């Protein structure tokens, strides 16, 4: 259980059809609750799986009609398990808030203006913002008196050091829609760059590749973000498991005209990318299919590798070179074939990877470069740890 000076945070990840609650004591996750929808007698019901710090899991013997019920039930479960009580109350609730705009380029303790800003953000994030709104609203109701915070996914990237933050659009359009290349995966980049400094690995020019279900890359100069691949939304940049990545804007406009804006955004975010090309959003399955010679899997794999290598090359050209490359997130950390294939394109830059190198968990990072090569690091990310650090600062500053 937490000590008196250790803050206790509940981190929410609110999806369109799921709700995940992760309880942290300091930066250590001690319990998580996952509510997801299932078919039950022809109706959609929600079940909850509880995962504990010791690795044990159990499913709650109950079903609910709405995700809104999840908050009251989560509170009851956490209290029953002894994780929160009068002696160890919650210090804050963190709602991961994928949304664009000036307001959401910072973290906020929720106030009266937050819902108005969320309403405005629904224009560009119709798939993600409703879940965040649900999370904020229900958190306020279920945990009265506990600070609720919207945690920005772009905060770490919205620095004056950024050289690619604007779009070449008329000023009145930019101002009306509050448009900008805000970027995303900021919590991941913030954590990884913090670890790079702690480990004494900071180079003049570093490119970090966050390759997971969503994929992005960011170039850093002297540890500060200079270029990032995602833009107003995570749809820009690299192709990923279900996102198109950058495409001709006319395609988006045509889809919007035919399907409506919300449906077009859904198609490009949820039904495209790897799953559209190869029928799977699992890189392991795509690699296996490519090894079997399936043409769709080969095409998907090659497009993915070329995209990542090409983005590294683009940033290297803009920064005048690159001194270190970092891989993080699920694919970046675990997939030897992906790392090897990407780096095979970049040997002309002075990089050569060991294709049998794996993560050294004891050290917390691994340099997978061959001797004489510029460094190629694997550094596991921890987005929750970064958000918790920022949330602690918000609370301390308010006090």
Kindly report, residue by residue over 42-86, the tens digit of the pLDDT.
Answer: 888 999 999 999 989 999 988 898 888 888 899 999 999 899 988
**Does some domain include residue 258?**
yes
User: Do 122 and 263 belong to one domain?
Assistant: no
Q: Are 122 and 178 in contact (CB under 8 A)?
A: no
Strands 224-228 and 215-221: antiparallel
Position 99 in a domain: yes
Same domain, 215 and 101: no
CATH of the domain at 268: 3.30.420.40
Would the pTM of this model clear 0.85, i.e. be above it? yes
Report the 10 Å Cβ neighbour count for 311: 25
For residue 136, tell me if it sits in a domain: yes
Asked whether residue 391 is domain-assigned, the answer is: no
d(CA 265, CA 280): 20
Beta bridge partners of 12: 21, 95
Query: What's the whole-number average pLDDT of the chain?
Result: 93
Q: What is the CA radius of gyration of the chain?
A: 21
Q: Per-residue DSSP letters for 99-117?
A: --SSGGGS-EE--TTHHHH
Q: How far apart are CA 131 and CA 13, in angstroms?
A: 8
CA angle, 214 as apex, 212 and 220 as ends, to 5°? 85
Q: Are 387 and 192 in contact (CB under 8 A)?
A: no
- Judge residue 313's burial from the number of C-beta atoms within 10 Å of its C-beta, 0-12 exposed, 13-18 middle, 19 or more buried: middle
Examine the domain organization and report whether 19 and 147 are in the same domain.
yes
pLDDT of residue 1: 45
Does a structural domain hold residue 163?
no
pLDDT(199) > 90: yes
Burial (0-12, 13-18, 19+ Cβ within 10 Å), 293: exposed
Q: What is the pLDDT of residue 399?
A: 61
Contacting residues for 223 by C-beta, under 8 A, at least 6 apart: 193, 196, 197, 202, 206
Alpha carbons 239 and 308: distance in angstroms, whole number: 9
Summarize the confidence of residues 259-287 as an average pLDDT: 96
Catalytic entry in 28, 153, 296, 396: 153
Decide if 153 is catalytic: yes
One domain, residues 231 and 344: yes
3-state secondary structure 214-270: CEEEEEEECCEEEEECCCCCCCCCCCCCCCCCCCCHHHHHHHHHHHCHHHHHHHHHH
Q: In this structure, are 125 and 232 located in the same domain?
A: no
Is 176 a domain residue?
A: no
Is 332 inside any structural domain?
Answer: yes
Residue 248 CA to residue 253 CA, distance in Å, equals 9
So what's the pLDDT on residue 122? Answer: 86
Backbone angles phi, psi at 71, to 5 degrees: -70, -45
- Assess if residue 377 is contained within a domain: yes
**Angle formed by the axes of helices 283-291 and 295-319, to 10°?**
120
Q: What are the backbone angles phi and psi of residue 220, rounded to the nearest 5°?
A: -115, 135
- Whether residues 371 and 247 share a domain: the answer is yes
The pLDDT value recorded for residue 15 is 77
Render pLDDT for 237-267 as a digit per residue (tens, 0 to 9): 999 999 999 999 999 999 999 999 989 999 9
The closest of 398, 399, 328, 383 to 151, measured between CA atoms, is 383
Q: Are residues 145 and 249 in the same domain?
A: no
Residue 227 sits at the vertex; the CA angle it makes with 123 and 392, to the nearest 5 degrees, is 70
**∠ CA 127-253-235, rounded to 5°:** 45
Instruction: Dump pLDDT digits (tens) for 204-219.
Output: 999 999 999 999 999 9
* Domain span holding position 87: 8-152
Strands 205-211 and 148-152: unpaired
The total number of structural domains in the chain stands at 2
Give the pLDDT band (50/70/90) at residue 5: low
DSSP labels for 291-358?
Answer: HTT-HHHHHHHHHHHHHHHHHHHHHHHHHT--SEEEEEHHHHHH-HHHHHHHHHTTGGGT--B-TT--
Whether residue 352 sits in one domain with residue 204: yes
Residue 3: pLDDT over 80? no
């Amino acid at each position: 259980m937490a000590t008196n000076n250790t803050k206790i945070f509940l981190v929410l990840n609110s999806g369109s059809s799921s709700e995940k609650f992760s309880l942290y004591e300091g930066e250590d996750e001690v319990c998580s609750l996952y509510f997801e929808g299932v078919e039950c007698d022809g109706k959609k019901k929600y079940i909850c799986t509880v995962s504990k710090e010791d690795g044990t899991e159990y499913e709650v013997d109950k079903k609910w009609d709405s995700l809104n019920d999840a908050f009251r039930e989560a509170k009851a479960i956490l209290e029953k398990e002894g994780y929160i009580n009068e002696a160890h109350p919650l210090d804050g609730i963190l709602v991961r808030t994928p949304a664009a705009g000036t307001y959401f380029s910072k973290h906020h303790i929720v106030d009266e203006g937050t819902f108005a800003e969320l309403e405005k953000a629904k224009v560009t994030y119709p798939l993600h913002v409703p879940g965040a709104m649900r999370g904020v609203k229900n958190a306020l109701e279920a945990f009265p008196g506990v600070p609720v915070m919207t945690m920005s996914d772009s905060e770490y990237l919205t620095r004056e050091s950024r050289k690619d933050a604007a779009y070449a659009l008329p000023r009145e359009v930019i101002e009306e829609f509050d448009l900008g290349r805000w970027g995303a995966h900021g919590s991941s980049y913030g954590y990884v760059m913090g670890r790079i400094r702690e480990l004494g690995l900071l180079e003049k020019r570093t490119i970090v590749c966050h390759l997971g279900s969503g994929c992005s890359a960011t170039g850093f100069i002297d540890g500060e973000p200079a270029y990032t691949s995602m833009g107003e939304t995570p749809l820009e940049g690299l192709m990923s498991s279900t996102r198109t990545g950058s495409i001709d804007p006319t395609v988006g406009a045509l889809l919007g005209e035919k399907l409506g804006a919300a449906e077009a955004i859904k198609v490009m975010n949820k039904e495209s990318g790897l799953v559209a090309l190869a029928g799977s959003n699992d890189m392991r399955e795509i690699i296996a299919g490519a090894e079997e010679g399936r043409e769709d899997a080969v095409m998907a794999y090659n497009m993915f590798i070329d995209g990542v290598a090409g983005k590294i090359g683009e940033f290297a050209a803009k920064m005048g070179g690159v001194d270190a490359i970092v891989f993080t997130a699920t694919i970046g950390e675990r997939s030897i074939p992906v790392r090897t294939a990407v780096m095979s394109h970049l040997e002309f830059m002075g990089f050569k990877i060991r294709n049998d190198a794996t993560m050294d968990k004891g050290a917390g990072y691994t340099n997978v470069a061959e001797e004489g090569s510029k460094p190629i690091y694997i550094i596991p990310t921890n987005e929750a740890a970064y958000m918790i650090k920022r949330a602690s600062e918000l609370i301390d500053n308010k006090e």
